Amino acid sequence: MKKYLGIGSIILVIALSIFFWWRYYFVFAEGVKAGNLNYFEKKGFMFKTWEGRLVQDGFQSPSAGALQSNEFRFSALGDSVALMLERSGGQFVELRYKEYLNPIPWRGASKYVVTEVLEIGEARGKSMPLQ
């Protein structure tokens, strides 16, 4: 009986490890998003993580007849990415990200994690001064 209990507990630990990895560390998608960086801040109670919001061009509507701007809420990975984004508020940025199935408190509050800043430029949509 102890033999079966030992084998069963090993199988259970392996199954739980695989489930935890799939749920929190499996990269579901990778991609690039671009838009104007609305805000970028370091926040959290126990784990301080970098969080930001990118406003993209265009509109989307969750229901018919309503308008809502496209927002991309993300967490940033590493201090090098955070340093670049910290000085880019209000500017046009292009970001490479990974999407996980669920967030983890020490990785950030979002399931989208920015891994690289590809481009920083002038904000799009700014009006030109009249002559």
Reported as a single tens digit per residue, the pLDDT across 15-36 is 999 999 999 999 999 999 999 9
Three-state DSSP state, 80: helix
Q: Is 58 part of any domain?
A: yes
Domain with 47 in it: what CATH number? Answer: 2.40.50.140
- Write down the H helix ranges in the chain: 2-24, 79-86
In a domain, 45, yes or no: yes
- C-beta separation of 115 from 27 below 8 A: no
- The answer to whether position 18 is within a domain reads no
90 in a structural domain: yes
Q: pLDDT-derived band of residue 131, with 50, 70 and 90 as boundaries?
A: very low
**Minimal CA–CA distance to 71: which of 37, 117, 108?**
37
**What is the count of structural domains for the chain?**
1
| Burial 50-70, CB ≥16 within 10 A → b, else e | bbbbbeeeeeeeeeeeeeeee
Which residues span the domain enclosing 68?
A: 27-121
Q: For tokens 């500017």, name the residue.
A: 91
Is 5 within a domain? no
pTM across the whole model = 0.77
Q: Does 37 fall in a domain? A: yes
Residue 130 lies in a domain: no
Tell me what pLDDT residue 125 has.
54
Distance between start and end Cα atoms, the chain: 89
| Whole-number pLDDT of residue 62 | 61
What pLDDT band is residue 114 in, cutting at 50, 70 and 90? very high
Could you tell me if residue 129 is inside a domain?
no
At 59-88, the pLDDT tens digits run 665 666 656 668 999 999 989 999 999 988
